[in-house]
Amino acid sequence: MTKAFAGVRALKGVDLDIRPGEVHCILGQNGAGKSTLIKTLAGVHRPDEGEIVWQGETVTIADPQAAIDLGIATMYQELDVVDGLTIAENVFLGHELASGGFTRRSEAAKLTKELLKRLGHGSLSPNTEVGRLSAANKQIVSMARALSHDIKLIVMDEPSAVLDSEEVKNLFSVVRELTRAGIAVVYITHRLEEIREIGDRITVLKDGRSTAVGLEVADTPTAELIRLMTGREVANVFPPAEPVADDAPVVLDVEGLALEGVFSGVTFSVRAGEIVGLAGLVGSGRSEILETVYGARKSTAGSVAVGGKRLGRGSVSAAVTAGVGLSPEERKSQGLVLDEPIFVNVTLSTFGRFAKGGFLDTRAERSAAREQIEALELRPPDPDRPAVTLSGGNQQKILLARWLVHGTKVLLLDEPTRGVDVGARAEIYALIRRLAAAGNAIVIVSSEIEEVLGLADTVLVVADGKVLTTVPAAQIDEHGVLDLVMKGAAA
Amino acid sequence: GDDESVVDQGTSSDENAASGDTVTIGFSGPAADHGWLGAINSGAQAAADSFADVDLKVAEGTNDASAQIAAVETFINDGVDAIVLLPTDGAALTEVAIKAMEAGIPVINVDREFSSPFAARATILGDNYGMGVSAGHYICEQVGDNPDAVVAEIAGIDSLPLTQDRSQGFADALADCDLEVSARVAADFTVAGGEAAASQLLSANPQIDALWNHDDDQGVGVLAAIESAGRDEFIMMGGAGSKNAMDIIKADDSVLKATVIYPSTQAADGVALARLIAQGKTMSDLITPSVPNRIVLDAPVVTKDNVDQFYDLAFES
Amino acid sequence: MSEQTTPGGAVAAPTPPPTPTEPTPAKESGIRRLLSGSVGRNLGLVVALLLIVAVGAITSPDNFATWSNTLVILRQASIVGVISIGMTFVIISGGIDLSVGSVMGLASVVATIDVAQDLASATHWTVMVLFALLVGVAAGLINGIVIAYGNVVAFMATLAMLVSARGLAEIVAERRTLIVGDRGFVGFFREDFLGVDVLIWIFILVAAAGWILLNRTTFGRRTVAIGGNREASRLAGINVKRHTVWLYVLAGLCAGIAGVMILGRTTAGTSTHGQLLELDAIAAVVVGGTLLIGGRGTIVGTVLGVLIFQTLTNVFVQNNLDSSVQAVAKGVIIVVAVLLQQRFAKPAGRSS
Amino acid sequence: MSEQTTPGGAVAAPTPPPTPTEPTPAKESGIRRLLSGSVGRNLGLVVALLLIVAVGAITSPDNFATWSNTLVILRQASIVGVISIGMTFVIISGGIDLSVGSVMGLASVVATIDVAQDLASATHWTVMVLFALLVGVAAGLINGIVIAYGNVVAFMATLAMLVSARGLAEIVAERRTLIVGDRGFVGFFREDFLGVDVLIWIFILVAAAGWILLNRTTFGRRTVAIGGNREASRLAGINVKRHTVWLYVLAGLCAGIAGVMILGRTTAGTSTHGQLLELDAIAAVVVGGTLLIGGRGTIVGTVLGVLIFQTLTNVFVQNNLDSSVQAVAKGVIIVVAVLLQQRFAKPAGRSS
Ligand SMILES: Nc1ncnc2c1ncn2[C@@H]1O[C@H](COP(=O)(O)OP(=O)(O)OP(=O)(O)O)[C@@H](O)[C@H]1O
Ligand SMILES: Nc1ncnc2c1ncn2[C@@H]1O[C@H](COP(=O)(O)OP(=O)(O)OP(=O)(O)O)[C@@H](O)[C@H]1O
Ligand SMILES: [Mg+2]
Ligand SMILES: [Mg+2]
């Protein structure tokens, strides 16, 4: 099975060949063209040049259906499930089990159940509406859909981005099972350690070109991969933590906070310069805790105080005025006004400050935005570029820039590196550190426990809407966190 | 001169019939979303076609006063010789009519009256209040001897002043024989609206003695509702005078026994008057040598006894 | 299909995770789920409808709660009801069809032009029905193609159709009201079956067919999918454009059926049939809980929405309420109904 | 502020990357950007308008291309134009206001009731203006509160207001047409300034104010942000609910101004003023390139949209076209205009 392919635009000449039964990883920085490449395979885009050879024959994949017919199934980076349908309906969407147009629902439910079991999620009911699922479980549905086809090749675009380590393990065992059956897997990720675990060969993309094709995982050191991707050396380590001064004042004080049906009794405080990390499994309610602290959800009990002053319940404006900033979990749907230029997104919380008598001062806004663009090395450094055209990592930087312009005391960061490439990741880590050093109180949520442990001074382990422990980061490791979580969830 | 006979003043009918200078007449009316208004439009057009010397410009029918004003303004700009105007709302079109008059263009006001006497050279009206009175009198004649008679009314578009006039006339005439309207619904001059309003009205009133429906066009729907409800204990009277209604009256096999004419020939009259005025002619049968300022048309009751006499006046609904 | 990928021996985790990752709030979830699903959504509507019925029964004790008055309401509901069923599909898919009222008017006119009536009297009155349905389908086809392949936003495309179809109907009818001559046709619609009018049966059949189509067929599931996530549907291999065309054809077909029904009801075709009916239909669909942005909606909700509005009008007339006061009250009641429906549908999920 | 966060020592790479990661298509971008911006979008509209003007000038050479006919078009455009400016804001924010036509009718009625007219004759005619504007603002306030705080979808909330305001206007006016008695009022609107009517000046002023408000103020920025991404705006600290209320107040205010203008134009207040005007306004806004889903739109586009429709009507009248044929033609032209506008606006970014 060979594919050779060369296109233009986002892709300027990419070669890729995939063998049956292998896990072929595609690496590249944000915006390198990985998603575009796999969308070409899936029939979403058509290559302008080049050809695709499938099992010895040159094929044109005109539309998604054609790809599916060939035996290529794709799990897309943007969650591609339909909220209003049930799990079973999503799994069989587009190839419904039907006789004469009438759906065979019980059969679909049965097969879905089997697929879910195989994916380690037998407890999910096939008749649950997908809109009610967490992002992680939606990813499972997406996977189940891919498996419901008769496939020879399955493409996974950053499937682990929304999964926690337990789920990732699960995913890997499914992948191994597939490869054993001779099915090829194309796997895209920004987490290099995952490649070590399951990858067979690697293709590296940079700026729409393949810089390396079919490297054997075993023969390629990580540093080499990073160099191929970024063209430079990145020390992918967390910057050294500076100890928080003992006399640093408490900036954020959360007392017995609760949101009915999601979490309760959340108490913690963050001092100036301290980074507190929330660790836990997906769906444990960490995002909700952040959003409730921020006032984006109305707490049902407890209080939040900033610098000693209590914030009004359920009021984002009160939080923002008090100097709290949130970088939300879903960049695109919660963070950015995608069609607007970068500078508008950067000053979205502060444009009123630049305005005189209600009239905007876009020049001042632009120059403030440009300052941050330079400080954060945002690319391209053009404040008038629509946010939609930026890569994930750069979009993430816009959100940070927003609060840098605002000047916060408390920063709440929900998955700040989700989908962000290694290079940008290191920059963001460094930036978070610098912000803490500048006296910000920071709360960070990440599905990568390693990230939480590497950045935070203090770790809160969360399971099932409850804070299990609060420990200094130095006193716990990944294993310890997982143990706690498992026990907590079992309890 | 002295020796001229009084009856010879003005133009004679022969002179009137003869072709004169070609005159351009602008006509603007409400949207022809209804049989009667459709008949008004085609009447105006037919009248214009019957004169070799009339060039009729018809503006888009509209129920938006402002759009109609724009249409009249366009006529003024184009320098038409006369304007025949059936305003969607008399008062609202008064300003622009005055403007036309001031620009030297005679305006013939049809059906819905302006609020200023300076706005029109001539006014030709149906008699809405009179229609209500005629209907009321007829119903008094038929059921007046029963003091408990249930009289129902299905009005047209309630927000139009003409509907208010009709209902007022109807109420006043009924009061003469000590009756009153005990159930009233408003439709919208459409067949479907008439059907909907009537079926609701019939359901709410299990016993009716007489029913006046303002408009024969919506009457098609009203009759459908009556038939489908299987009701025949009352007499019904229509309004406007459509061909369909007259056929039914003539056949005398349904509850519809009469209708009150509201002439759909008003705009045609308007066009004829506009031509006379623009050409400096007069109404030949009148002695006074100028076209009258105000003509109010009759609102006669049509029953099976006199239906043949009015049949030609009926409009195709 | 994927029979070889059976959940056989190789199954993933040797130790499956001990508990589901979802913290299922064990207790209330049963009732909650019920309430927040389509049942709960519709519960609010049922309450609203019962309230209106109660007001009717109290204010007009003799005439309101009778079988014949119920039939009046249902008969009245049937035409806008049929239109609303088609509209439900379009709105669930994230579209809108403003042209249904005009198309219904056009269908009624075309079915009663001389040619059609002559043909009908020469053969059978169903020819008129055929004419009406064809008009509906044709209009829907044009709408669908302009929207799906011309990429014209549905609001504008169907607004254009609204204007054009009305104009065309006037031209075809020469602004006259065309009376149905065929007694067979008129007779058929006057009949009843088991004490219920043919018109009402048509509504029941269309609603039932709509329910099955929406909930039990691939067509329905794909409609929901397109409305919920157009891009995902496309990626799943659904031909979104073609499906969109079929949706508007369906709405047009319903408008055609409604055209036949209004002919049966009024025995006359005119270009004025169906004026502003699109607003009534959209209002019924939205009050019935279908999201205007698409992706979610029920036929039962739509039927309830239609009934609420018609019952309301009936209560007004029973009480001989002035039409202006009716209008004011109607506006207030629409808002209250939507609020009520939300209250019952609320428990689920995050508010925006 | 964060001046201390300079890109100091800690950053990863000592050598910055040689090229930007984004593949910037260097060449065409200049023209492309221009075309894809609001200029390009409006270019399509200008072309459409010029086409219509050309048709008018050719088919009616004597009367069409005259100053006085231009004034006729502009005068007619002014009222729906003012309404459309308010509508543009609402639609850019992702909402819709169906009530503007009725509110305008209600405003015209309230401004001409006896109380208002007596007060006006006792003091000054601007009292009537005040009444009309207050009605508009009050209606907008109710709309806004019901939508923002009651979470009622804008379509339904404003549909309810449409129905209610019309009913209320009928009740207040007692179904009469209320004639403006004050000669000062009538005289003011009869005047012109530099050969252009007061009405047209009002439109120009409102459009200019709207342009500044949308493009140069924080209010406009918030509007665009909310329409582009409501949730992101909320999480950025914008008070979305309060702003939504203001948006509907703005639309109501514009309807109030239009109410005054229709009074000036017709010298009479009636509940029938403004019927179906909401559809004209929405059509103008959408043809003007504002997205119905919000987030994007221009005042210039809206003004062009309004002019296109009014010029079209004028050309029809000039050519003595049958009104039914006009309707059919209008529908076709709407679709063509939207397609044309898309063609010119297309080069930009992603289509959905
Ligand atoms: N629909 C589109 N319109 C315009 N540009 C696009 C579009 N889709 C992708 N691009 C551009 O193409 C380039 C490649 O994007 P792609 O999504 O393939 O990157 P990626 O490697 O998947 O990045 P990430 O790691 O962030 O997912 C980027 O510069 C992106 O901005
Ligand atoms: N819209 C929703 N409707 C119902 N339940 C929801 C919704 N959103 C989240 N939940 C539930 O709330 C809980 C917390 O979810 P959430 O995914 O935010 O947690 P998290 O710890 O932040 O995980 P993640 O890593 O995915 O961000 C889960 O049980 C989830 O199913
Ligand atoms: Mg990608
Ligand atoms: Mg989360």
Q: Do A284 and C23 touch (CB under 8 A)?
A: yes
Q: How many CB atoms lie within 10 A of CB A245?
A: 12
Q: Which long-range contacts (CB under 8 A, 24 or more apart) does C37-43 make?
A: C37/A129, C38/C289, C38/C298, C38/C300, C38/C301, C40/C344, C40/C345, C40/C347, C41/C289, C41/C298, C41/C301, C41/C341, C41/C344, C41/C345, C42/C289, C42/C298, C42/C300, C42/C301, C42/C304, C43/C344
Q: Do C234 and A64 touch (CB under 8 A)?
A: yes
C22-58 pLDDT tens trace: 444 444 455 555 555 556 668 888 888 999 999 999 9
Report the C-alpha gap between C328 and C323 in whole angstroms: 9
Question: What confidence score (pLDDT) does residue D18 get?
Answer: 39
A33 lines ligand 1 (CB under 6 A): yes
Measured in angstroms, the CA of C199 and the nearest CA of chain B are apart by: 11
Question: What confidence score (pLDDT) does residue C339 get?
Answer: 83
Scan for tokens 């408990």, then name that residue: B148
Q: How far is the CA of D212 from the centre of ligand 4 (A)?
A: 40
A282 lines ligand 2 (CB under 6 A): yes
Residue of B34 and B106 predicted with greater confidence = B106
As annotated, the residues of chain A forming the CATH 3.40.50.300 domain(s) are 2-230, 250-490
Mean pLDDT in residue range A26-45: 85
pTM over 0.90: no
Is residue D184 in some structural domain? yes
Closest atom of ligand 2 relative to the C22 alpha carbon: 29
Is residue C3 in some structural domain? no
Residue D153 phi/psi, 5-degree rounding, is -60, 140
Cβ–Cβ contact C6 with A under 8 A: yes
Cβ–Cβ contact C195 with B under 8 A: no
Mean pLDDT in residue range C302-322: 88
Looking at beta carbons, which residues of chain A come within 8 Å of C232?
A: 79-82, 93
Measured in angstroms, the CA of B158 and the nearest CA of chain D are apart by: 7
CATH of A250-490, one of 3.40.190.10, 3.40.50.300, 3.40.50.2000, 1.10.10.10: 3.40.50.300
Q: Any idea which ligand is nearest the CA of A204? A: 1
Query: Which of the residue ranges A148-157, B286-295, C15-24 would you say has the lowest mean pLDDT?
Result: C15-24
Measured in angstroms, the CA of C112 and the nearest CA of chain D are apart by: 19
B in contact with C (at least 3 C-beta pairs within 8 A): yes
Q: Do C221 and A76 touch (CB under 8 A)?
A: no
Residue C12 has pLDDT above 50, yes or no: no
Q: Do A358 and D221 touch (CB under 8 A)?
A: no
Residue of A357 and D255 predicted with greater confidence = D255
Residue D2 has pLDDT above 50, yes or no: no
Looking at residue B230, the DSSP 8-state letter turns out to be T
B68-86 pLDDT tens trace: 888 898 899 888 999 999 9
CA distances from D258 to D105, D202, D226 (A): 9, 9, 26
Residue of D140 and A416 predicted with greater confidence = D140
Q: Do C150 and D339 touch (CB under 8 A)?
A: yes
Is residue D36 in some structural domain? no
Interface subset of B 94-123, CB within 8 angstroms of D: 94-95, 115
Beta-carbon neighbours within 5 Å of ion ligand 4: A 287, 329
Looking at residue A335, the DSSP 8-state letter turns out to be I
Report the C-alpha gap between D309 and D287 in whole angstroms: 9
Residue of B39 and C92 predicted with greater confidence = C92
Q: Which of A103-117, A364-378, B199-213, C239-253 has the highest mean pLDDT?
A: C239-253
Is residue C127 in some structural domain? yes
| Among protein residues, the one whose CA lies closest to atom 18 of ligand 1 | A33
Q: Do C295 and A147 touch (CB under 8 A)?
A: no
Are A293 and A285 within 8 A, CB to CB? no
Scan for tokens 């970068």, then name that residue: A342
Burial bucket for residue B102 (CB in 10 Å: 0-12, 13-18, 19+): exposed
pLDDT band at residue C17 under the 50/70/90 scheme: very low
Residue B58 has pLDDT above 70, yes or no: yes
Mean pLDDT in residue range A177-206: 89
CATH of A2-230, one of 3.40.50.2000, 1.10.8.50, 3.40.50.300, 3.40.50.1110: 3.40.50.300
Which residues form the domain of C290?
A: 62-350
Q: Which residue of B has its CA nearest to C176?
A: B317
Residue of D270 and A236 predicted with greater confidence = D270
Percent of chain B with pLDDT over 70: 97
Tell me which of C229, C233, C291, C293 to substitute to probe the interface with A (most A C-beta atoms closer than 10 Å): C229
Which CATH number characterizes residue D326's domain?
A: 1.10.3470
Q: Do C10 and A65 touch (CB under 8 A)?
A: no
Mean pLDDT in residue range B204-229: 90
pLDDT band at residue C85 under the 50/70/90 scheme: very high
Is residue D54 in some structural domain? no
Mean pLDDT in residue range D244-263: 97
Q: Which chains does chain D touch, 3 or more C-beta pairs < 8 A?
A: A, B, C
D315-346 pLDDT tens trace: 887 787 777 888 888 889 888 888 877 776 65
Q: What is the ipTM of this complex?
A: 0.84
Measured in angstroms, the CA of D184 and the nearest CA of chain A are apart by: 35
Q: Do C21 and A136 touch (CB under 8 A)?
A: yes
Query: Which of the residue ranges A439-448, B298-307, D36-45, D304-313 would you say has the lowest mean pLDDT?
Result: D36-45
Diameter of chain A by CA atoms?
74
Burial bucket for residue D277 (CB in 10 Å: 0-12, 13-18, 19+): buried
Scan for tokens 């019935």, then name that residue: C288
D21 lines ligand 1 (CB under 6 A): no
Identity (one letter) of the amino acid at A256?
G
Is residue C46 in some structural domain? no
Q: Which of A94-108, A207-221, A460-474, C75-89 has the highest mean pLDDT?
A: C75-89
Query: Which of the residue ranges A445-449, B7-11, B134-138, D76-80 would you say has the lowest mean pLDDT?
Result: B7-11
Considering only the beta carbons, identify the residue of A85, A95, A102 that sits closest to C217. A102
Q: Which residue of D has its CA nearest to B59?
A: D317
Considering only the beta carbons, identify the residue of A68, A170, A490 that sits closest to C13. A170
Report the C-alpha gap between A243 and A271 in whole angstroms: 12
Mean pLDDT in residue range A139-151: 90
Cβ–Cβ contact D143 with C under 8 A: no
Looking at beta carbons, which residues of chain C come within 8 Å of D292?
A: 153, 155
Output the CA angle B36-D163-C290, nearest 5 degrees: 110
Q: Which residue of D has its CA nearest to A291?
A: D235
| Number of domains forming the structure of chain D | 1
D6-42 pLDDT tens trace: 333 333 333 333 334 444 444 445 555 555 555 666 8
Is residue C35 in some structural domain? no
Q: Any idea which ligand is nearest the CA of A421? A: 1
The DSSP string of B84-146 is EE--SSHHHHHHHHHHHHHTT--EEEESS--SSGGG-SEEEE--HHHHHHHHHHHHHHHHTT-
Residue C157 has pLDDT above 90, yes or no: yes
Residue C11 has pLDDT above 50, yes or no: no
C186-242 pLDDT tens trace: 888 888 888 888 999 999 999 999 999 999 999 999 999 999 999 899 988 899 999
Looking at residue C292, the DSSP 8-state letter turns out to be T
Is residue D344 in some structural domain? yes
Average pLDDT over all residues of chain B: 88
